[in-house]
Chains A and B, each alone.
Chain A
Amino acid sequence: MAKDVYAVNGISITKIYGTEASGVTALNDVSISIRDNEFFTLLGPSGCGKTTLLRCIAGFEQLSSGRILLFDEEIDHLSPNRRPVNTVFQHYALFPHMTVAENIGFSLRMLKQGEAKIKATVGQMLDLVHMTEFAGRHPAQLSGGQQQRVALARALASHPKVLLLDEPLSALDLKLRQEMRVELKQLQEETGITFIFVTHDQEEALTMSDRIAVMSDGKIQQTGNPADIYENPVNHFVADFIGETNFLEATIQSVHTDNARCVLANGAQLSASLTVPKEKGNRVTICIRPEKISLDNPGTAAGGIDGTVERLIYLGTDTHYLVQLGSQTSVLARIQNSRQSPRFKPGDQATVVMDESACRVLAD
């Protein structure tokens, strides 16, 4: 079978700012493979290295070590203006002295295309982002959302092989941000260009991406599709960073092929899926999402763990119950307020039922 060609293939990328001895490591031996025509998101808190990685691909930063291949071609020695990738900057960086049309046509003029061709492409791009009527305006005369569209059109005009987006939605208000998510995703599908999107917003990442790489401390913690990342987090950081999670301290009692029997601090037992190598007797952390936990009246469910409802928060569509399981441990359960589901009050006894496949033993 032929070797896969990736849109971007980063091999052992390390980036240290400052000197080797007293520098700050922004990227620590990161390897990443981004497929062609993929909406790929780099997700992580500020300072995790996601923007640095994007800037390395764009060519604004020199790698301390490692290589980056763009469709199998080395690009490390190329300056930013020689790389067929374009960036949508966080604050757009539209040229204030040029009109919208001039901004969009800038890359084409730099590439020395003919005036007629430039005009045609600019027209197409304006059309693509629904900005045709604003062609003659200057950036200062546009709203944030309009500037965003122009920035997108400008970056897409020269048909880059990869489009890099550096938190482009962060400057917009919530409503506009939600609209732009849909538009961005559509734009990616229409153009067929690989998008690499940097964000710290998990919701943005989950709703738009084909695949997500979760980063922290200059390393990629996990790569996968949104469902994978959300439902099967590999470690504490990923489970904690994305969505709400219960963490349960436990000791492994027995290991089976893909699951493990574990004992909680209060002596209760439960099974959890196991994808990382662990042995009997290991102290581990099990994570489970609040919506994967159900509550039953005591004595009605087999295999549940008995507890006491400590607090509840009513949220209309569902209710969040904090259930105490022994002195050390409590879990948060999110129960839909459907007709069938039982209701509890603080102080009630309840049986906590955790779906085995939703419980995961974390790597750390």
Chain B
Amino acid sequence: MNPTRDLKRYPGFGGITWACLVFLYGPLIVIALYSFNEIRSITVWGGFSFSWYVKAFNNDLIQRATYNSLIIAVSAATASTICATAAALAILRNRAFRGREASIGIISLPLMVPEIVTAIASLVFFVLVGIPLGIGSILLAHTVFCIPFAYLPITARLEGIEGHYEEAARDLYADSWQTFRYVMLPMMFPGIVAGFMLAFIISLDDFIITNFVAGPGATTLPLAIYGLVRTGLTPEINAVSTLLLLVSIFFVTLSYLLGKKPGPGR
């Protein structure tokens, strides 16, 4: 008997499935739909229009916040991807390395620490050390918490690459750097790109940590949206959220596709 068929026969299977789908995606669809609303309401439909998108694009605050967010996300993703790549190579490729087990734990721990705790800890740390709050502090915090996210697809990829390739490169007169540059880096590249994109998205939509460590004036897109919501909900927020959602979907999909196939590929 086919087990999938069995599962479908359980009472309530269909209902629960639909409930999950509706609760997960219903709100998103509603948000996206009302971003095209003609009138200033997020609950009553008044006709189709792009006017809120136009308004969002012309909003100074949103423009600045988007710019900040992109700068931070690109920089933090780059920095964290470099750290994650180095960590993956050290942990997976160096058998003699003593702190191996501990390193794996330390790298993945931030995924399990409640974000609010990380946020407060980061804030206290910056204040204690005397790092001024602003774009710089956001960038630092983002780099750190993005490392485990970048690390995951990179290790997945690296685990699929057999050790023989490195040995072959060494055997053919490549020194450590050349082995990395001409053999390992190209072979790991899909994993690195996937890690970068995951880190980029995580940084782009982070709210809690950013809210704590952002100084006055330094606003990212999620903070700006939150600010707008407090002054009243308009379809303009829907429009910005929809765009952010599309960017996220695009990057996560790309990251998934690239990271999916371990082993040699081109």
Task: Say if the beta carbon of A93 comes within 8 Å of chain B.
Answer: yes
Give residues 87-146 of A contacting B (CB, 8 Å).
Answer: 87, 89, 91, 93-97, 106-107, 109-111, 138-140
A95-B183, A97-B186 in contact; A89/B266 too (CB < 8 A)?
no
Contact with B along A309-330 (1 / 0, CB 8 A): 0000000000000000000000
- The answer to whether B264 touches A107 (Cβ under 8 A) is no
Which residues does chain A contribute within 8 Å of B174, judged by CB atoms?
A: 81, 106, 110
A81-B175, A110-B178, A140-B264 in contact; A95/B165 too (CB < 8 A)?
yes
Task: Determine how close the nearest CB of chain B comes to the CB of A38; give it in whole angstroms.
Answer: 21
Which residues does chain A contribute within 8 Å of B186, judged by CB atoms?
A: 95, 97
- The answer to whether B162 touches A138 (Cβ under 8 A) is no
Give residues 19-58 of B contacting A (CB, 8 Å).
Answer: none
- The answer to whether A80 touches B265 (Cβ under 8 A) is no
Task: Determine how close the nearest CB of chain B comes to the CB of A82; give it in whole angstroms.
Answer: 8
Which residues does chain A contribute within 8 Å of B264, judged by CB atoms?
A: 96-97, 139-140
Question: Complex Cα distance A140/B169, Å?
Answer: 18
Which residues does chain A contribute within 8 Å of B164, judged by CB atoms?
A: 89, 91, 93
- The answer to whether A93 touches B167 (Cβ under 8 A) is yes
Contact with B along A324-347 (1 / 0, CB 8 A): 000000000000000000000000
Task: Say if the beta carbon of A194 comes within 8 Å of chain B.
Answer: no
Contact with A along B163-178 (1 / 0, CB 8 A): 0110111111111001
Question: Complex Cα distance A351/B165, Å?
Answer: 60
Task: Determine how close the nearest CB of chain B comes to the CB of A187; give it in whole angstroms.
Answer: 18
List 6 A-B pairs, Cβ < 8 Å. A81-B170, A86-B172, A89-B164, A107-B173, A110-B172, A139-B264
Task: Determine how close the nearest CB of chain A comes to the CB of B37; give it in whole angstroms.
Answer: 49
Which residues does chain B contribute within 8 Å of A59, judged by CB atoms?
A: 170-171
Task: Say if the beta carbon of B187 comes within 8 Å of chain A.
Answer: yes
- Nearest A residue to B175 by beta-carbon distance? A81
- The answer to whether B168 touches A81 (Cβ under 8 A) is no
Task: Say if the beta carbon of A58 comes within 8 Å of chain B.
Answer: yes
Task: Determine how close the nearest CB of chain A comes to the CB of B111; give it in whole angstroms.
Answer: 31
Give residues 165-215 of B contacting A (CB, 8 Å).
Answer: 165, 167-175, 178, 182-183, 186-187
Task: Say if the beta carbon of A154 comes within 8 Å of chain B.
Answer: yes
Please tell me the number of chain B residues within 8 Å of chain A, measured between CB atoms: 20
- The answer to whether B173 touches A97 (Cβ under 8 A) is no
- The answer to whether A87 touches B171 (Cβ under 8 A) is yes
Which residues does chain B contribute within 8 Å of A109, judged by CB atoms?
A: 182
Question: Complex Cα distance A158/B172, Å?
Answer: 8
Question: Complex Cα distance A138/B169, Å?
Answer: 17
Which residues does chain A contribute within 8 Å of B187, judged by CB atoms?
A: 95-97
Which residues does chain B contribute within 8 Å of A86, judged by CB atoms?
A: 171-172
Contact partner, A93, options B162, B173, B265, Cβ 8 Å: B162
Task: Determine how close the nearest CB of chain B comes to the CB of A122; give it in whole angstroms.
Answer: 13
Question: Complex Cα distance A138/B170, Å?
Answer: 21
Which residues does chain B contribute within 8 Å of A81, judged by CB atoms?
A: 170-175
Contact partner, B172, options A106, A138, A139, A140, Cβ 8 Å: A106
- Nearest A residue to B170 by beta-carbon distance? A80
- Quick one: which of A82, A91, A97, A140 has the most chain B CB within 10 A? A97
- Quick one: which of B162, B165, B169, B171 has the most chain A CB within 10 A? B171
- Nearest B residue to A104 by beta-carbon distance? B172
Which residues does chain B contribute within 8 Å of A155, judged by CB atoms?
A: 171-172
Instruction: List 8 A-B pairs, minimum CB-CB distance, nearest first.
Output: A96-B264, A93-B164, A107-B172, A93-B168, A110-B173, A80-B170, A97-B186, A110-B174
Which residues does chain B contribute within 8 Å of A80, judged by CB atoms?
A: 167, 170-171
Contact partner, B168, options A79, A87, A138, Cβ 8 Å: A87
Which residues does chain B contribute within 8 Å of A107, judged by CB atoms?
A: 172-173
- The answer to whether B170 touches A96 (Cβ under 8 A) is no
- The answer to whether B265 touches A96 (Cβ under 8 A) is yes
Which residues does chain A contribute within 8 Å of B183, judged by CB atoms?
A: 95
Question: Complex Cα distance A111/B173, Å?
Answer: 7
Question: Complex Cα distance A85/B173, Å?
Answer: 10
Question: Complex Cα distance A86/B170, Å?
Answer: 10
Task: Determine how close the nearest CB of chain A comes to the CB of B162; give it in whole angstroms.
Answer: 7
- Nearest B residue to A107 by beta-carbon distance? B172
